[in-house]
Chains A and B, each alone.
Chain A
Amino acid sequence: MKSDIILSGVGGQGIISIAAAIGEAALINDLHMKQAEVHGMSQRGGAVQSTLRVSSKPIASDLIAYGAADMILSVEPMESLRYLNYLKPEGWLITNAVPFVNIDDYPNIETIYAEIRKIKNHVIIDADEIAGKVATKRASNMVMLGAATLFIDIPLESVKEGIRQIFGKKGEAMTQSNIDAMLAGREAAELYMKQNR
């Protein structure tokens, strides 16, 4: 198997936790993994991007080539488009529908949705609302992780285990609510796929 994923969002939205959970899940399955993070300057409310590569074969580059990503997974809709030139023609774009508006010239959200819908394989879900229902809004990143699991060839159980490993220190309740959020995201993506076929 091989999954090259670009994660995107705004500094502070928790894309590193998504990467860490998938990364742990990959290691449980003895897969190779490389994950590039963003630190420093760009974290201050700016656009952030991280790459995650998982494969059954050794991985060379920390960076994913342009036009080679299997998936863009974004916790913010405009940010999902910022790295579009990395996506393969048949790759998946999976994004949260809720904009994070911290700039004056944030574009009309409908034009953003329209751009996203131009992509053949896409999923848009309201991760904030879903997270709010089953856990807390803060867990919207785990909702997006759940949506992505539909398209990554790693057993769901290992993803749960991955979440346990990164949130374990924060207690059982926190861990469970993140797992719930993840499962709800997966369900929402399934529903989206059915409705938009």
Chain B
Amino acid sequence: MLGDEAIAQAGLDAGISGMYAYPGTPSTEIMEYIQHSKQAKENKVHAKWSTNEKTSMESALGMSYAGKRALCAMKHVGLNVAADAFINAAITGVNGGLIVISADDPSMHSSQNEQDNRFYGKFAQIPILEPTNQQEAYDMIHYGFELSEEFKVPVLMRITTRLAHSRAGIETRSPRPQNQLVLPKDPMQFILLPSIARKNYRTLLGNFRSFVDASEESDFNQFIDGPDKSLGIITCGIAYNYLVENYEDQNVPYPVLKVGQYPLPRKLIEKMMNTCKEVLVIEDGYPMVEEMLKGYLGKENIRGRLDGSLPRDGELNPNLVLAAIKKEKFEIEPIPSTVANRLPAMCKGCGHIDAYLALNEALLEHGKGRVFADIGCYTLGAYEPYQAISTCVDMGASITMAKGAADAGLVPAVAVIGDSTFTHSGITGLIDAVIGKSPITIVISDNYTTGMTGGQDSAALGRIEQICEGVGVDPAHIKIFHPTPAHHDEMVALLKEELAYDGVSVIIPRRQCVQTMKDKDLAIKVKELGLNNRK
């Protein structure tokens, strides 16, 4: 099973009643596994995509309120979107067990940053689990739910791309039944009025000691002694593998503290610091543990990413770890110079391409630098031969950045956003633009799906115009288009018209994603909605 699949199966076996998520690499396959699972269907486990990460986090918390176990998963940047709910869920606490999975992406294989979400767990002051391998991921979900219900807190599980998308054999356990529907014992628990929140917060703080104790006793934190005390090594999660990979039969000559649960196990850390001359911290992501041990004044015998023993950014690997132990530099050998770059590109026949070709032409007279794009397949319009966009920051930022730029005098300004991104977090920005009467043209490139992450359902399907009208866009300035080469000139003319309009206009190039043509469920919905009948 993939790491993601192991987590999903563990959730089912641990008796979850629902899984809530918005797609995002490398977390997507957790939900997809549950959606295809017979076990989930038989047990009526909720497994529908949420509109964004915040709604998924809140729905999961609602399920927990009702006494049932819930799983919530997202890619690392998704937790920024869900952060308000996440941090406050630590204050309300939970009723039924709640585990939040954050799938981080060191080296940014498919993301805009490589933020380390262990910091979110620390920020929320809740326990964090970080598996070393797929089997541990499976086991940790079972343990995590027990921990969550014992202390009535949400638990964060942090995985990385490598673990999520790598396959290994998994030993599963027999399924546990779902929890009964039961309301929280304290009817005020989930009401975060200041007086109650203060009390809850003190309970959370008071529990911290118990979280540390749990870490001390946890099987997921192990002190493995070694004869050579000149160096001690602390590994976090998957970094352990990169260490032992370098030694015959995984026998490391140095004492190793393998960390898989936080808050850090204090006694084990002390043991390591007291017995070893130097300590090397190996962690994928930010130097979180290293920084904690080093302290503000920078204890000199702590090595890791901060002192240059390991690179400050990017995913780790066995070579880098070995070089750090030996205090050598590791240089990757160059590959033959004949090898050309092969960047990802929009598919042949993709509607986004036709939309960009028309947009580029319509904007010729205004010049470059006016297109605020968003996150999705259409972001690939940044590359040649289109070079059609100037920004891509976070989901939803197209409409709002175009508004800000227009406020600054950049008129016309254009936003380009996908259908799924629009419902994820474009709508609120559109309301800002409508209220501000901003002179912006918003292109909602509708391909009926969440394309970039593999073609999941789009919450926007069949309702984009209604949403736009509903939030106050003038219907005369909502235009739908069928983006094909044959309609190029028509589209250019229409875009020019709307670019000249002094107010919010919405243009919807609408054509199904070529990758989803075999999706039978989607075909039925598209037919029912009559989407392909309209031009």
Chain A interface residues (CB < 8 Å from chain B): 10-11, 23, 27, 32-47, 57-58, 60-63, 65-68, 78-79, 81-85, 102-103, 105-107, 111-112, 115
- B: interface residue count bin: 35 or more
B486 within 8 A of A: no
Query: 8 Å CB contacts to A: which residues of B325-350?
Result: 332-336, 338-347
A115 & B25 in contact (Cβ 8 Å cutoff): no
**B168 — which chain A residues lie within 8 A by C-beta?**
33-35
Q: Select which of B166, B333, B338 is within 8 A of A62 by beta carbon.
A: B166
Task: Give the complex CA separation of A57 and B318 in angstroms.
Answer: 17
**A82 — which chain B residues lie within 8 A by C-beta?**
335, 339
Provide a sorted-by-A list of 30 A–B residue pairs whose CB atoms are within 8 angstroms. A27-B169, A33-B167, A33-B168, A33-B169, A36-B165, A37-B167, A39-B454, A40-B452, A41-B344, A42-B110, A42-B344, A44-B347, A46-B342, A46-B343, A60-B241, A61-B245, A61-B318, A62-B166, A63-B162, A65-B317, A65-B318, A66-B319, A67-B333, A68-B318, A84-B335, A85-B332, A85-B335, A103-B341, A103-B343, A115-B336
**A11-B344, A37-B2, A45-B345 are known contacts; what are 17 more A-B pairs with Cβ within 8 Å?**
A33-B167, A34-B166, A37-B167, A38-B109, A39-B26, A42-B109, A45-B347, A47-B342, A60-B241, A60-B244, A61-B317, A63-B318, A66-B317, A83-B335, A84-B333, A103-B341, A103-B343
B25 & A40 in contact (Cβ 8 Å cutoff): yes
**B454 — which chain A residues lie within 8 A by C-beta?**
39-40
B165 & A61 in contact (Cβ 8 Å cutoff): no
Task: Give the complex CA separation of A10 and B162 in angstroms.
Answer: 20
B28 within 8 A of A: yes
B506 within 8 A of A: no
**A115 — which chain B residues lie within 8 A by C-beta?**
336, 338
- Tell me the smallest distance from the CB of A119 to a CB of chain B, in Å: 10
B344 & A107 in contact (Cβ 8 Å cutoff): no
Residue of B nearest to A84 (CB): B335
Task: Give the complex CA separation of A45 and B346 in angstroms.
Answer: 8
B2 & A44 in contact (Cβ 8 Å cutoff): no
Query: 8 Å CB contacts to A: which residues of B427-455?
Result: 452-454
Task: Give the complex CA separation of A78 and B342 in angstroms.
Answer: 10
Query: 8 Å CB contacts to A: which residues of B344-388?
Result: 344-347, 377, 380
B342 & A60 in contact (Cβ 8 Å cutoff): no
**B336 — which chain A residues lie within 8 A by C-beta?**
81, 84, 115
- Tell me the smallest distance from the CB of B454 to a CB of chain A, in Å: 7
**A107 — which chain B residues lie within 8 A by C-beta?**
338-340
Task: Give the complex CA separation of A33 and B435 in angstroms.
Answer: 57
Q: Select which of A37, A68, A79, A81 is within 8 A of B166 by beta carbon.
A: A37
- Tell me the smallest distance from the CB of B252 to a CB of chain A, in Å: 11
Residue of A nearest to B75 (CB): A40
- Tell me the smallest distance from the CB of A21 to a CB of chain B, in Å: 13
B345 & A81 in contact (Cβ 8 Å cutoff): no
B25 & A81 in contact (Cβ 8 Å cutoff): no
Q: Select which of B162, B238, B240, B339 is within 8 A of A81 by beta carbon.
A: B339
**A33 — which chain B residues lie within 8 A by C-beta?**
167-169
- Tell me the smallest distance from the CB of B270 to a CB of chain A, in Å: 27
Task: Give the complex CA separation of A164 and B189 in angstroms.
Answer: 55
- Tell me the smallest distance from the CB of B534 to a CB of chain A, in Å: 28
Residue of B nearest to A65 (CB): B318
Residue of A nearest to B111 (CB): A41
Task: Give the complex CA separation of A58 and B241 in angstroms.
Answer: 11
**A111 — which chain B residues lie within 8 A by C-beta?**
338
A106 & B340 in contact (Cβ 8 Å cutoff): yes
